[in-house]
Structure 1
């Protein structure tokens, strides 16, 4: 009677009316654990209880992984929708945008980490390098170290495509993600093999060719000089956030035949090494534990890679972690307090919810419906989106910063699909723009995404 019931225990039966009348009704001996350290003294008793609970957790995890594995198909698109791409020939205006964007992508690249004019603190040119965008020299110290944070004020060269960004790797990495994806979509929808050929060049230069590829880690992403031995921070993990749509591009390229078996094996080995780094690096642990958008995009990245590699165990765990994380981010009114405390609350609220909706799509590829999940307080993605829509133009809630008004379009379509009855009147004309700035976390040609 003194044992604590766990969530997986059956409800206890009602005590009998004559319970307690006998001093001792009997004794049931347990089987030996088979582990000597669990059988000696009080410490062994406590360790035995812990071991029992862990064994139950492991069994439940294995059941979850098997359920995911039964629905996991690594060749299936995880973000884009197969039927939408098959019917894209009917989307005349969007096809025009795709053809234009693909033509521009054909004229760029290939890109490599070797192209940057700067160098990571390691001295290895194949190490990805990008400084933390909001960290500046301390004006009160002669050497400026350690750097201090000035939220919202970008260090020169850290904005995508801006002057000075050639010093670092982020702009070129984003080109690889976006251009490869646009070209893979064009090869699929417009039936142009030359698009796939150039996309394969971009892909190989960044991830496959031993002479030019990026080393599989983010050890020097968002470096804050004078901190952590001049290694990157947990915030740097987000710079590979766009794997969620890029891995679909790789799937599409594999279907065209432009990637051979050696390419496939080398890329999966690269991803495996990168995941090993994520499992051990302090910066990755910081991102995983974050209660802000950093944690959300960590989950999105791991889930996307897991669907590509067929890692059902990791995918099942991310599904669980995401549900726990949601409860730490959404307030009772549906707002996102952590993001609203930033100097650009409107941007970060939209940015975070884009991450959540993308994660929901990736999980839906194995039949996991994150949209239906509610916290203990009855909150979920729908409630958070309703809050955002209701407060979009209220300067007393969010700052008067300028953002692209069309950014709300993809989120409005999500509300229309997942809560049609509760959806307020909205201008869905904003939900037609096919390409956004990468900082807005909306995949290229997102209109062809999963629901």
Structure 2
């Protein structure tokens, strides 16, 4: 299908970009951002200044979207109408996205699985899933608009969102995901809730970009650093974190993505390096077949989404390993499993040489 081909093709482009990235990082060694490549961002900024048609058009679209964010009032977790089991409205709360009330019982229990079909209840303002995604999206637009334009209004707006979500005692979220992806009548929370925080990377990037220009004062940075330390410790020791650490599919890759980045943010480089080294066997060896297929992702009803998303995160981890001297990109298991092979597996489908033979329900957005 067209959506599948477009998505897969975007990952071939991502592959080529990653190859360049890895080579340049070894040479340059100047990247200060954890989750983004500062060398590439700088090159894009130069092309915008030179009125390059492609990047100037994209930059214009970014500014339009970021400007819309200036009038949007931050929507913290304390605004939800459902109180978490803890009784603390500061705790993040969501329900399992693919679980639905049972149509055959009066009380809807037990909830049933409809893999790949999002329950509209998840998206209401009663819970936090939608507001979390909007916060991450807003910070991404505003931080990039500030980086490229250097217009302080975008930085100030991004700061106000971070202040609301992570600094202000009256509105900030607690540093845990104890009640993420719960299932009514069954689980208050599950390990799956952690994947909803994968894009906390945008918060880290925004803080790094703003802090480089002294947008935050010392007291604010102290509060932010404490929040991230507490979240990291929770994720490292809580049962949901441990289950993700020992898991076998995309949830575990996304767990590493968070943990490596936050460890680096906190200056815990040895812990980040150790986790990346472990990813060779814990992620590449267990998630990718010798032929490059990702069996656990291909078995889902949204196989394109999960195969491509998981591979993108694996590649991001490989890039994050470069400044720490860990080469995930070139790693090949004794039986031939590698990130490169996973890209080659997708290549013929992206190029249209073969038809995608696995299940993919619904529409598909590019990752």
328, 350, 353: which one pairs with 2:311? 353
Aligned to 1:287: 244
59, 83, 97: which one pairs with 2:39? 83
Distance 1:96 1:357 in 2: 28
Structure with higher RCO (Cα < 8 A, 6+ apart): 2
Q: Please tell me whether the aligned partners of residues 74 and 307 of structure 1 are also in contact (alpha carbons under 8 angstroms).
A: no
Q: Please tell me whether the aligned partners of residues 94 and 179 of structure 2 are also in contact (alpha carbons under 8 angstroms).
A: yes
| Compared CA separation, residues 382 and 245, structure 1 to 2 (3 A) | farther
Q: Give the paired residue count.
A: 328
State whether structure 2 residue 234 is matched by structure 1 residue 270: no
CA displacement, residues 46-74 of structure 1 (integer Å, 9 cap, x when unaligned): xxxxxxxxxxxxxxxxxxxxxxxxxxx99
50, 67, 86: which one pairs with 1:122? 86
Q: Please tell me whether the aligned partners of residues 139 and 202 of structure 2 are also in contact (alpha carbons under 8 angstroms).
A: no
1:404 shift after superposition: 4.8
170, 176, 184: which one pairs with 2:143? 184
TM-score (norm 1): 0.68
Aligned to 1:371: 329
SS at structure 2 position matched to 1:168: coil
Aligned to 1:171: 130
Aligned to 1:203: 162
Q: Please tell me whether the aligned partners of residues 340 and 348 of structure 1 are also in contact (alpha carbons under 8 angstroms).
A: yes
Segments of 5+ residues of structure 1 without an aligned counterpart are 1-72, 159-163, 408-439, 441-451
State whether structure 2 residue 287 is matched by structure 1 residue 329: yes
SS at structure 2 position matched to 1:371: coil
SS at structure 1 position matched to 2:181: strand
TM-score (norm 2): 0.83
- More divergent stretch after superposition (79-88 vs 336-345): 79-88
Aligned to 2:23: none
SS at structure 2 position matched to 1:271: helix
Aligned to 1:259: 216
71, 78, 82: which one pairs with 1:107? 71
Distance 1:139 1:401 in 2: 22
State whether structure 2 residue 111 is matched by structure 1 residue 147: yes
Structure (1 or 2) with the greater helix fraction: 2
Q: What's the C-alpha RMSD, in Å, of the aligned pairs?
A: 2.2
1:379 shift after superposition: 2.2
SS at structure 2 position matched to 1:188: helix
Q: Which has the larger radius of gyration?
A: 1
345, 353, 364: which one pairs with 1:387? 345
CA displacement, residues 386-429 of structure 1 (integer Å, 9 cap, x when unaligned): 10122345456223546558x3xxxxxxxxxxxxxxxxxxxxxx
Distance 2:168 2:181 in 1: 25
Aligned to 2:197: 240
CA displacement, residues 196-238 of structure 1 (integer Å, 9 cap, x when unaligned): 111100001001111100011000000012224xx21111111
